[in-house]
Structure 1
Amino acid sequence: MAGVVRRWLGRVGSYSAERQPRAWLLLLPALVCIGVFNVLPLVRVLVMAFQSGTLRHLRFAGWSNFVAVFADPSFVRALVNTGVFAVVTVPVGLVVSLMLAVAVDSGLRGSRVFEALLFVPYLTSVVAVGVVFRYLFNGDYGVVNYVLSLVGLGPFDFLNDPRLSMVTLCVFGVWLSLAFNIVILLSGLRAIDPMLYRVADLYGASAWERFSRITLPQLAPMITFLSIMDLINAFKVYTEVYVLFNGKPGVADSAVTAVFYVYDKFYVQGRYGQGMAAAVVLFMLILVFTLLQSLLVRRLSK
């Protein structure tokens, strides 16, 4: 009897879900969908990056597509604009989101109402929000110019001035990122043990010390997650440009981004190989910057 019990306990201790055929059978539908809709398109993009011609008659072209893409000034501008958008919107969006989340979590009167209002943009279509922002930034009757005129500034033609295209796009991008960031940060704030703040109060800690030594360290995992997700979304910016500038990348391509460049090459100009080559370059940049950012955040959080 004792031997049977030992053998049974040994089987239980060595149990592994990954080794069970039934587990893989249950995962098979999801794995098939991932393979068909995620892996195969990536492989197809990589193959087409080294081909030229029409979709029905593609032929091997070597590295010519990559050479043509890097020699195109429009692609260089697209990469620079995408980098500027990411560098501005990610940190600014996180800082503003953190300030608003702390304000909402502080228990001020009406904080629940503000929480609901701040979450509404996440439920709203980007296209609808873009139409509203087009009215707000209109150079003739926009609300933004009206507010600026109260302090003696403007008017500015935000949508038609090439020098202001990226400024307008960055403001729009920051506003769009607030809702999701605030929701995640609020969940992290409400998960912090209140006893930590009570002990800090007993030792006479200031508001800044409470924030820098308790709140920020506790929110480090959420901030890391949001910074990575916001960076990836910033590199993939397209819809914001399309709706804000009425289907164009700004005046004289002043707000062209990497994804917009890929769309234009593939669907408008019909240069499929160059479009996919640009997509591969963008994928590699996102991968490299995401890994670097993850390593940097982890080192700073230690």
Structure 2
Amino acid sequence: MKKIDKEKQRNSLKAWLFLAPALIIITIFNIFPLLRTIEISFQKGSLTHPKFNGIQNYITVLTDDKFHKAVWNTSVYSFIVVPVGIIIALLIAVMLYEKVKMRGFFEVIFFIPYVTSTVAEGVIFRVLLNEDYGVINHFLGRIGIGPIDFLDNPDTALMTLIIFGIWSSIAFNIIILLSGIRNINQQYYKMADMYGATGYEKLFNITLPQLVPMITFLLTVNCINAFKIYTEVYAIFNGKPGIANSAITAVYYIYDKFYVTNRYGEGMAATVVLFVIIVIFTIIQNLVLKKITKR
């Protein structure tokens, strides 16, 4: 028994030695910045000459209507973009796997947006959605709709951001879901064909249950990314959060506080609040998904 215990201790020490470089990097670039953020959130003044400000920064942020709007826009964006993006990606992934010839070519086409700069995508969308010469409004005009001011109308700014978010998230979702579909045991489908199962029955009784781990992963990752949306707003609305802050998001609010108005403490307080919201939402989501998968 003593030899076994010593061997376990040696293996444990070796494991910690192998993990040490990664743990050091995580501590320097993740944990320390988080602790520093919390520290600054209780301060006022400049970064070089800070003064303790108690919880006043949090009170200011939590009572700011602009922050309320930013959180609301971010929540609406997340609750629409994430499920819609996954559903569309699932349909495309199933079609690519089962019905489309030259599958590899189309996989590359659908994956291009994921490896393209978000800023470049935003510039393209600005051209496509322009009220005067945009291609989208040109086709809408052909069917008697529009022109629609996608970019400079407070009523449509958030919708424009949501459309862009769905489009930009589909590529990553398709690749993940395709990899999951390829790993499903084909014997399930052969048995289903023997009993005369339809395509819809195979989709809902075989494909979807087998993809639950992939869908759970995508829900978690996409929700976190959706709550951190910033670059999309900056790219589409040319460095502004839409007309009258109509498309402002939580991260853009933090950027504005920290880099534009130089209210560092308030910016970091908003960061901590957003971090707490993401953690709570992620925990609730994981608990709900665990209950669903156990059924």
- TM-score range for the pair, normalised by the shorter chain length: over 0.9
The residue identity in structure 2 corresponding to 1:138 is N
Residue from 18, 27, 30 that aligns with 1:38: 30
Q: Determine if the alignment matches structure 1 residue 182 to structure 2 residue 174.
A: yes
Residue from 86, 89, 100 that aligns with 1:97: 89
Residue from 51, 66, 74 that aligns with 2:58: 66
Q: Distance in 2 between matches of 1:85 and 1:194?
A: 37
5+ residue gaps, structure 2, are none
Q: Determine if the alignment matches structure 1 residue 285 to structure 2 residue 247.
A: no
- 3-state SS of paired residue (2:155): helix
Q: What does 1:1-302 align with in structure 2 at a 5 Å threshold?
A: 11=4, 15-16=7-8, 19-302=11-294
Per the alignment, do residues 18 and 79 of structure 1 end up closer, same or farther by CA in structure 2, a change over 3 Å counting? farther
The 10-residue stretch of structure 1 (119-128 or 14-23) with the greater mean CA deviation from structure 2: 14-23
Quote how far apart the aligned CAs of 1:208 are.
1.1
Quote how far apart the aligned CAs of 1:19 are.
4.8
Per-residue CA distance 1:176-231 (angstroms, 9 max, x = gap): 10111000000000000111001011111111111111000000000000000000
1:4 aligned residue: none
TM-score normalised to the size of structure 2? 0.96
Which one has the largest radius of gyration?
A: 1
Q: Is contact 1:131–1:243 with CA below 8 Å preserved after alignment?
A: yes
Q: Distance in 2 between matches of 1:24 and 1:95?
A: 41
How many matched pairs? 294
Q: Is contact 1:17–1:23 with CA below 8 Å preserved after alignment?
A: no
The 10-residue stretch of structure 1 (103-112 or 174-183) with the greater mean CA deviation from structure 2: 103-112
Per the alignment, do residues 292 and 14 of structure 1 end up closer, same or farther by CA in structure 2, a change over 3 Å counting? farther
Q: Report % sequence identity.
A: 49
Q: Distance in 1 between matches of 2:13 and 2:153?
A: 62
Q: Is contact 1:135–1:142 with CA below 8 Å preserved after alignment?
A: yes
Q: Distance in 2 between matches of 1:167 and 1:18?
A: 57
- 3-state SS of paired residue (1:59): strand
Q: Distance in 1 between matches of 2:267 and 2:28?
A: 21
The residue identity in structure 2 corresponding to 1:190 is R
1:3 aligned residue: none
Per the alignment, do residues 15 and 102 of structure 1 end up closer, same or farther by CA in structure 2, a change over 3 Å counting? farther
5+ residue gaps, structure 1, are 1-6
Q: Distance in 1 between matches of 2:8 and 2:274?
A: 39
TM-score normalised to the size of structure 1? 0.94
Quote how far apart the aligned CAs of 1:32 are.
1.3
The residue identity in structure 1 corresponding to 2:19 is L
Q: Distance in 1 between matches of 2:185 and 2:78?
A: 33
Q: Distance in 1 between matches of 2:10 and 2:85?
A: 40
Q: Distance in 2 between matches of 1:77 and 1:104?
A: 39
The residue identity in structure 1 corresponding to 2:127 is Y
The residue identity in structure 1 corresponding to 2:253 is Y
Q: Distance in 1 between matches of 2:182 and 2:6?
A: 38
- 3-state SS of paired residue (2:149): coil
Per-residue CA distance 1:33-53 (angstroms, 9 max, x = gap): 111111000000011111111
RMSD in angstroms over aligned alpha carbons?
A: 1.6
The residue identity in structure 2 corresponding to 1:249 is P
Quote how far apart the aligned CAs of 1:18 are.
8.0
The 10-residue stretch of structure 1 (150-159 or 239-248) with the greater mean CA deviation from structure 2: 150-159
Q: Distance in 2 between matches of 1:265 and 1:128?
A: 26
